[in-house]
């Protein structure tokens, strides 16, 4: 029998079975204030440093001290490129030392190399955002500054705001400032910092095509600043569905606008698996092209797995491939379909039988969006978390202890489930991106899916059986088949089924709201795209964290199991 165990995935970073609250990120080493001239970076920075018990430094003052001359003279003698190079070296030196509060010049964070150095230092960045009238009042009397020499301050500020705001939007925290007192603004800044939850970042290691999965709350509001650095141009088309768009598109729209990311079109498709077909794909492609999409325009998928698969396939074939961003809003999509680059549509013969591998540039998993999911959708998404737990081992133990918290919508449990699922899947994808391993590899992610996809297809993708529900039943059947073939204990299927049932999922064929014909299910599995040389291919289990693929499962054993489970 040909096998490859999930325990052989040495590339997978070890997961902790500890509760979600144990996975808090470390605090930043330093705080860097960015913003326009007149935003109050120095005045606020000094007061904030005193409150936090940290030293304060002003980058411009440090530059003048290092150069032995005013910034005006540095500009006049050597020009801006020389100044920016020195500014970057001074900021890098300061951030390499002990924690501090650092106020930067208005142009520092707009410089790509300096911005990269600040981010690489691990510092928290805070944008003090002010409107034009406020800035004009504050810069009065600063005509000696290089940018204001012999120029209209309003005109200069408007030009600089247009040029710099898109880069300031990449800051970790934004606080809008007004003409209130410095103490009031400082207090609000401190409260914003204390209330900010830094997103977690996971790298999917695919070389030049590698990308990050960013997980955390409030990401839609920061979408522009997060995705702009990885796009060739600040132009996108957004694909969503008619159920998700009213809930989350306004926040995404504002987040993109903050970084001057232009939305050429917002395309909504009907919700549900029925939208994953060639007719809908053509409609989406025609709408994209009519809006002016070119090869530097990115496609942003906002929604669940259906939207991600459809929009991703459209991005893969439009202009022979355009950039793609995943913004999953369901648990199922956040833990599974948004990571790995599988895109596609369904055919009458089965699910996802037409598609392409097209990796996203970034995945933004905003955990706040999960609060809007109906309970049934949340439970369905949890089936994929349980699958990852069965593949990984310690995560299964965590699932048995904390699965009820995930189903109840607990924020910490949801974040942990998304993070660890993406960590596992990202490592597997990095090792076997296109599912080319002879056995095992990425194929292991199909645990429960050979059964599950057959169930979905036989149900006609009509919504009576959700993907996660079909996968849950598939996990129970895979465990039962493994036991019948002697690969695991006879008690193991009961444990898997009991956990899924306790989380409100169907775990047996008889739990579904309709009956299935044995011949139909066997026929679907015979056409599964994962089959090799005409033989059905299953992922089987020995124990949590010890799963393997096999193409040597007797069809009669599968048929007997389905018959015993109630298939007519």
| Residues recognised as catalytic | 320, 342, 384, 425, 435, 442, 446, 449, 453, 467
Q: Is residue 42 part of an annotated ligand binding site? A: yes
User: Is 141 flagged in the annotation as binding?
Assistant: no
Coil, helix or strand for 56?
A: strand
Q: Which residues contact 486 (CB under 8 A, 6 or more apart)?
A: none
Radius of gyration from C-alpha coordinates of the chain = 27
The DSSP H or E segment spanning 10 is none
Q: Are 434 and 355 in contact (CB under 8 A)?
A: no
Q: What is the largest CA-CA distance in the chain?
A: 88
Establish how many alpha carbons lie within 13 A of residue 513's alpha carbon, considering only the half-sphere containing its beta carbon.
8
Q: Are 548 and 390 in contact (CB under 8 A)?
A: no
Reading the block at residue 140, the tokens are 């009065």
For strands 56-58 and 262-269, give the pairing: unpaired
Is 369 assigned a ligand-binding role in the annotation? yes
Instruction: Say whether 84 counts as a known binding-site residue.
Output: yes
Hey, CA dihedral for 64, 67, 71, 73, is it positive or negative? Answer: positive
Strand pairing partners for 57? 102
51 is in an annotated binding site: no
Locate 332 and state its tokens: 């199922």
Phi, psi of 104 (to 5 degrees): -105, 160
Question: Residues 300, 239: contact at Cβ < 8 Å?
Answer: yes
The tally of CA atoms less than 13 A away on the side-chain side of residue 413 is 17
Contact 153, 133 (CB under 8 A): no
Beta carbons within 8 Å of 83's beta carbon, 6+ residues apart: 63, 71, 74, 75
Is 372 assigned a ligand-binding role in the annotation? Answer: yes
Residue 383 in marked binding region:
no
Q: Is 145 marked as binding a ligand?
A: yes
Nearest to 328 by CA among 298, 362, 306, 302: 302
Q: Helix or strand or coil: residue 238?
A: strand
Instruction: Establish whether 426 is an annotated binding residue.
Output: no
Does the annotation place 351 within a ligand binding site? yes
SS (H, E, C) 364-428: EEEHHHHHHCCHHHHHHHHHHHHHHHHHHCHHHHHHHHHHHHHHCCCHHHHHHHHHHHHHHHHHH
- Was 186 annotated as part of a binding site? no
Query: Is residue 176 a known part of a binding site?
Result: no
Tell me the C-alpha distance between 316 and 337, whole Å.
16
* Sign of the four-CA dihedral 442, 443, 448, 449: positive
Residues annotated in a binding site for NAD(+): 305-309, 329-330, 342, 351, 369-372
Residues annotated in a binding site for substrate: 60, 84, 106, 164
Residues annotated in a binding site for Zn(2+): 384, 449, 467
Residues annotated in a binding site for Mg(2+): 42
Residues annotated in a binding site: 38-43, 60, 84, 106, 145, 164, 305-309, 329-330, 342, 351, 369-372, 384, 449, 467
């Amino acid at each position: 029998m040909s096998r490859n165990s999930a325990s052989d995935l040495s590339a997978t970073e070890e997961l902790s079975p500890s509760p979600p609250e144990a996975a808090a990120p470390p605090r930043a080493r330093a705080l860097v204030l960015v913003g326009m001239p007149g935003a109050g970076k120095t005045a606020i920075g000094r007061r904030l440093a005193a409150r936090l018990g940290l030293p304060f430094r002003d980058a411009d003052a440090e530059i003048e001290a290092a150069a032995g001359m005013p910034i005006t003279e540095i500009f006049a003698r050597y020009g801006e490129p020389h100044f920016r190079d020195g500014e970057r070296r001074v900021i890098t030196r300061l951030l390499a030392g002990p924690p501090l509060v650092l106020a930067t010049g208005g142009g520092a964070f707009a410089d790509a190399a300096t911005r990269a150095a600040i981010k690489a230092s691990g510092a928290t960045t805070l944008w003090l955002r002010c409107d034009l009238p406020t800035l004009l009042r504050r810069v009065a009397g600063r005509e000696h500054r290089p940018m204001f020499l012999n120029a209209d301050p309003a005109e200069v500020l408007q030009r600089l705001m247009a040029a710099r705001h898109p880069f300031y939007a990449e800051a970790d925290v934004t606080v809008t400032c007004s003409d209130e007192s410095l103490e009031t603004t400082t207090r609000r800044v401190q409260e914003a910092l204390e209330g900010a939850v830094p997103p977690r970042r996971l790298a999917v290691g695919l070389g030049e095509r590698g990308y990050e999965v960013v997980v955390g709350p409030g990401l839609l509001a920061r979408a522009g600043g997060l995705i702009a650095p990885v796009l060739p141009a600040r132009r996108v088309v957004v694909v969503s569905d008619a159920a998700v768009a009213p809930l989350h598109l306004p926040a995404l729209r504002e987040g993109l606008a903050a970084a001057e990311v232009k939305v050429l079109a917002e395309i909504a498709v009907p919700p549900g698996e029925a939208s994953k077909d060639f007719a809908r794909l053509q409609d989406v492609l025609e709408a994209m092209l009519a809006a002016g999409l070119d090869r530097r325009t990115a496609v942003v998928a906002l929604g669940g797995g259906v939207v991600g698969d459809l929009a991703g396939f459209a991005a893969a074939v439009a202009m022979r491939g355009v950039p793609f961003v995943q913004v999953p809003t369901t648990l199922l999509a956040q833990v599974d379909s948004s990571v790995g680059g599988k895109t596609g549509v369904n055919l009458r013969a089965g699910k996802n039988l037409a598609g392409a591998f097209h990796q996203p540039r970034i995945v933004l998993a905003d955990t706040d969006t999960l609060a809007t999911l109906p309970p049934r959708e949340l439970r369905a998404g949890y089936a994929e978390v349980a699958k990852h737990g069965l593949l990984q081992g310690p995560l299964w133990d965590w699932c048995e202890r904390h699965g009820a918290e995930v189903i109840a919508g607990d924020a910490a449990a949801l974040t942990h489930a998304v993070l660890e699922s993406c960590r596992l899947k990202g490592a597997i994808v990095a090792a076997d991106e296109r599912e080319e391993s002879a056995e095992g590899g990425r194929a292991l992610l199909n645990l429960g899916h050979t059964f599950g996809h057959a169930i979905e297809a036989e149900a006609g993708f009509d919504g009576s059986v959700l993907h996660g529900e079909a996968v849950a039943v598939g996990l129970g059947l895979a465990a039962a088949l493994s036991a019948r073939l002697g690969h695991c204990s006879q008690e193991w299927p009961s444990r898997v089924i009991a956990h899924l049932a306790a989380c409100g999922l169907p775990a047996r064929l008889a739990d579904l709201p309709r009956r299935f014909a044995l011949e139909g299910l066997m026929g679907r599995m015979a056409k599964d795209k994962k089959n090799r040389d005409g033989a059905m291919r299953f992922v089987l289990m020995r124990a949590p964290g010890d799963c393997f693929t096999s193409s040597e499962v007797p069809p009669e054993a599968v048929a007997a199991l389905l018959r015993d489970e109630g298939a007519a």
